[in-house]
Amino acid sequence: RFKAVIFDLDGVITDTAHYHYLAWKELAESQGVHFDHEFNERLKGIDRMGSLDLILASAARQRQYTPEEKLALADTKNKHYQELISTMSSKDLLPGAVEALDTVRRAGLRIGLASVSKNAFTVLERLGITDKFDYVVDAATIARGKPDPEIFLKAARELGVAPADCLGVEDAVAGVTAIKAAGMFALGIGHPFVLTEADVVITSLKEFNLAAY
Ligand code: G6P
Ligand code: MG
């Protein structure tokens, strides 16, 4: 019944959350902000500057950061993150990811990627799956990050498919909200208690069953 499947990347196809965690933790602590896994959860699906704003909002000394300072901090985090992902390879694909992509391909549906990460192209290359996608949204062209539907709507438009004919796959609360706001069917990867807005929630792409949605 669907004509396209639009995947998120981080936490769905590969687990980069740990690398984001390490890079944000070092950055946060350099600013006197306590950073743990719980905080990291809140950053899932949130773009780089949005994540930095959340971290700085809880800076011990509530001081103002200039736009230039913020850009420098975001850049420091990103350089560290890029160092961490430079050794990624196909072994970093989450279980079931390639099988899910191949199932969608065999079913004759279009495949899109909607990640707000400006490192998405690099990660796809390192994973060796770039050519499995018909269209990958360039995060640099997106004005409003998730939970805004912009990125999913752009993917659908570029794939030439109406939003109502798209299945979106997401692990983040903000991402599921974005899919629903785009008028698509939302498949959540994670826990139903967390991804309450999703139409269906599975634990990982190992359970992906296109015919069931
Ligand atoms: C994804 C991740 C976020 C990350 C964001 C931006 O949505 O889930 O944790 O902050 O991408 O990534 P970037 O590579 O552009 O800093
Ligand atoms: Mg994600």
Report whether pLDDT(208) > 80. Answer: yes
Answer whether 103 contacts ligand 1 (Cβ < 6 A): no
pLDDT per residue over 111-124, tens digit each? Answer: 999 999 999 999 99
Answer whether 51 contacts ligand 1 (Cβ < 6 A): yes
Helices and strands of the chain, counted as H and E runs? 8, 6
| Strand, coil or helix: 5 | strand
Residue of minimum CA distance from atom 14 in ligand 1: 117
Other beta carbons within 10 Å of 31: 18
Residue owning tokens 């139409």: 199
pLDDT above 90 as % of the chain: 92
pLDDT per residue over 12-69, tens digit each? Answer: 999 998 899 999 999 999 998 999 999 998 898 899 999 999 999 877 566 789 999 9
For residues 212 and 85, what is the distance between their CA atoms, to the nearest angstrom? 34
Ligand 2 centre to CA of 160 (Å) is 24
Q: What pLDDT score was predicted for residue 42?
A: 87
Q: What pLDDT score was predicted for residue 58?
A: 78
Ligand 2 centre to CA of 92 (Å) is 15
Report whether pLDDT(10) > 90. Answer: yes
From the number of C-beta atoms within 10 Å of its C-beta (0-12, 13-18, 19+), residue 194 rates as middle
Q: Which of 19, 113, 116 to mutate to test the pocket of ligand 1 (most atoms within 8 A of CB)?
A: 116
Instruction: Give me the chain's average pLDDT, please.
Output: 95
Q: Which of 10, 24, 173 to mutate to test the pocket of ligand 1 (most atoms within 8 A of CB)?
A: 10
Strand ranges inside 8-134, DSSP E: 110-113
Residues known to be catalytic = 8, 10
How close are the terminal C-alpha atoms of the chain, in Å? 8
Tell how strand 166-170 and strand 4-7 pair up.
parallel
Q: What is the dihedral of CA 11, 186, 116, 52, to 10 degrees?
A: -70
| Strand, coil or helix: 111 | strand
Ligand 1 centre to CA of 6 (Å) is 17
For residues 189 and 29, what is the distance between their CA atoms, to the nearest angstrom? 30
What mean pLDDT do residues 138-153 have?
Answer: 97
Q: pTM of the full predicted structure?
A: 0.94
Q: What pLDDT score was predicted for residue 62?
A: 64
DSSP label at residue 172: S
pLDDT per residue over 170-189, tens digit each? Answer: 999 999 999 999 999 999 99
Question: Among residues 8, 13, 57, which one has the least CA distance to residue 33?
Answer: 57
- In this prediction, residue 97 has a pLDDT band, given cuts at 50, 70 and 90, of very high
Q: What pLDDT score was predicted for residue 64?
A: 85
Ligand 2 centre to CA of 12 (Å) is 6
Ligand 1 atom at shortest distance from the alpha carbon of 172: 8
